[in-house]
Chains A and B, each alone.
Chain A
């Protein structure tokens, strides 16, 4: 079982890199959907089959892998954006930063005061790496959609962390899934308000007009 979960976790890390490096939004969203699907498997793999893990997996699959990616794809179609052009930090530097952050996460995880059974497992470093990659995406991209994707990845990082705790603190994990609903509402907000049909004004940079 451990090999399987490690495989999933490695795939998750690879997907992080993919989203950091690609400029195509559709690919980005698909990658996140796959990542969500992989994560939905994790509770089953890590804790075995039980009602609680099944429910958790079901909701994660429904929300992370199906619902939100569908909404995002539809949004893209409606506002006709396909590429992230001129990110704040270029793709190659972001990738490099991502690699740095990921390796940092792996080193850092060794220093964490973990309980014995979590020591050496890939869960914690992957969670941290995913979390930081999401953050990186949020910080370096301009388009609202990419930011939503970044937020989703960040959320996935928290979810991986939460799986370790899902026995101890079920509420935290479920609240994490609920956070995804928040993203869903975010997306709906973009669709409904349609910040504009125009290409340029989907930039969140315009939000700086809100500064006093």
Chain B
């Protein structure tokens, strides 16, 4: 516990020092980096023992805020979410030093580093807080510091709009979270999580209301299906290392909230499990379908975050369903899959956002159609991106496969164990989950193929340079993490045991069987790796024995392949989306076809829209705004009148309070 507090103190002082260093860029960066990496070591040192020998640390200090105590608690669930915080931020900070080097010449980066350290500190605090006020304060610091980090390039209106959308949506979520905690607190008569025990005896209606509030509030942060609209807007415009943090950790904070709420509430019924499962599945389908359409690399990754969060929620939903129906094997598999996928997502999404950053850094654009042929020019970064994509598309032997495999197994077991309509439903889910996997492969072969292979599609791409070692090493380490989890999932699952124990206590005896099954994946993964290495060695040996001379492919008609002959990002996914997507999600096309017999200029534009935002939320809110225009007379622009409003409001509240006390 003290190590964690020391980490927070270190981060805060690091933030302060880098602010003091101000314009001395290197000094500011050194302070921030030292604090961040020091804190990371402290967290790792504090958390690993907790995961190996499960126990709950509790500390409570006086806090001068009315109604608040500085209550902290680190149970296995918190430890589980703390570990990624020890891994991603220092790596992304090392990367960011090189990534922002050019910017540092023209602007002051000290506030950026300070906010970065602050974000990390608030992430730690959110996970540790065991008091409602402390939690909400940390949550708010997290939102605000990430808002400022996202609006790094605030001179562009696109960035400002995205940041505002994020802030707005995040605060709507905060509203729901506050409602959740206050309702829970008033039911238990205390604002400390320790005293929330009466909540486990809450009636079904109260449980339903509380869980809906929590799912909505935390789901907004996590990017749960109907609430994720801020993700595809905010992730692309943030600097890449910030996107990595947002997608890898801030989203996790939302997941933590949902899981924490589940622990505080009585065991949820099977219906809730089915609802979460459905929302997760819809999110996964929607996310990956939209990811497939995006021209913007980072927007594509942001939608892929929606997909992965969907998969995690599928695992959680299935786990809840199975726990309610007394299927411990399924529950163990589903929760293990979901939890492992949380870690995996942090690793590979961090890796890919950093990778997308190297592409952006090298070519100056996020548009896939202006990249091309980058594997030749930046082989190191290119290979790392391919590795990350393999993990993200859930292909063996990397980690994405291991966790999704567990969820698949859970679904299969559930399908066998259940009967009637529920079995049918589960098998539908299984099929749709398969489609998600396929689309993920399409999405990431497209990303690699269009960005890295072929010919350069723009002069900028032709002049691209490989990333510097400071940018490559963090990515290498992340890929190494992906590979290790992919090859040795049983060891990772061993770390998850205490958390699983918390989430579904009945499933504990089944855990060993789960591990044994995952061990097999690792084994097959190793065999696959070995096979790949052997084939590669054989091929090299063959090539050495019979050297080949490079020549133009058939000189006939195509002496010089140009980018115009290659598939574009749109055409690659065209086949899939024309046949698969419903009308509402189809991208907007504008074409200009030749009308006469003779060849003429042909144009074709494809623009994918955020259907949910544009078709649902924007009409809803503009309709609301129109209704509210009638209240416009309240806004007179006179300060005195506003003061009068405040006065009337305060006086009214006081009177009401008194009258309520008298029982009138």
Contact = CB atoms under 8 A, between A and B. Distances in A.
A88 interface: yes
Contacts of B647: 132, 135, 139
A79 interface: no
Nearest to A147: B639
Contacts of A113: 658, 661
A172 B658 contact: no
Interface residues of B, number: 16
A66 interface: no
Contacts of A185: none
Contact of A210 (B64, B637, B643, B654): B637
B155 interface: no
Nearest to B64: A171
A51 interface: no
Interface string B56-78: 00000000111000000000000
B638 A205 contact: yes
B201 interface: no
Given A113-B661, A211-B635, A139 B640 contact: yes
B636 interface: yes
Q: What range describes how many residues of A lie at the interface? A: 20 to 34
Contacts of B639: 147, 204, 207-208
Nearest to A88: B640
Contacts of B637: 207-211
Given A169-B66, A170-B64, A171-B65, A208 B658 contact: no
A92 B637 CA distance: 26
Interface in A101-129: 108, 111-113
Contacts of B644: 139
B66 A208 contact: no
A15 interface: no
Interface string A159-178: 00000000001111000000
B11 to A, nearest CB: 24
B658 A111 contact: yes
Contacts of A111: 658, 662
B639 to A, nearest CB: 5
A61 B157 CA distance: 48
A75 interface: no
Contacts of B66: 169, 172
Interface in B626-664: 635-640, 643-644, 647, 654, 658, 661-662
B636, B637, B640, B658: residue with the most chain A Cβ atoms closer than 10 Å: B640
Nearest to A137: B643
Contacts of A211: 635-637
Contacts of B635: 211
B661 A139 contact: no
A65 interface: no
A140 interface: yes
A169 B640 CA distance: 32
Interface in A198-212: 204-205, 207-211
A145 interface: no
A190 to B, nearest CB: 15
A66 B640 CA distance: 28
Contacts of B636: 208, 211
A210 B636 CA distance: 11
A138 interface: yes
Contacts of B65: 171
Interface in A144-194: 147, 169-172
A177 B635 CA distance: 32
Interface in A45-104: 88
B642 to A, nearest CB: 9
Contacts of A171: 64-65
B643 A208 contact: no
B156 to A, nearest CB: 24
Nearest to A89: B640
A29 to B, nearest CB: 20
Contacts of A209: 637
A139 B643 CA distance: 6
A112 to B, nearest CB: 7
Interface string A13-32: 00000000000000000000
B65 to A, nearest CB: 7
B91 to A, nearest CB: 39
A111 B664 CA distance: 13
Contacts of B640: 88, 138-140
A146 to B, nearest CB: 11
A4 B661 CA distance: 33
Contacts of A207: 637, 639
Contacts of B654: 108
A30 to B, nearest CB: 24
B250 to A, nearest CB: 30
A141 to B, nearest CB: 8
B64 A208 contact: no
A147 B638 CA distance: 13
A205 B643 CA distance: 13
A171 B658 CA distance: 26
Nearest to A104: B651
A72 to B, nearest CB: 19
Interface string B344-367: 000000000000000000000000
Given A208-B636, A208-B637, A138 B643 contact: yes
Nearest to B637: A211
A108 B653 CA distance: 13
B636, B643, B662: residue with the most chain A Cβ atoms closer than 10 Å: B643
16 contacts: A108-B654, A112-B658, A113-B658, A132-B647, A135-B647, A138-B640, A138-B643, A139-B640, A139-B643, A139-B644, A147-B639, A169-B64, A169-B66, A208-B637, A208-B639, A210-B637
Interface of A: 88, 108, 111-113, 132, 135, 138-140, 147, 169-172, 204-205, 207-211
The 4 lowest CB-CB distance pairs between A and B, nearest first, are: A211-B637, A171-B64, A208-B637, A139-B643
Given A139-B647, A207-B639, A211-B635, 12 more contacts: A88-B640, A108-B654, A111-B658, A139-B643, A139-B644, A147-B639, A171-B65, A208-B636, A208-B637, A208-B639, A210-B637, A211-B637
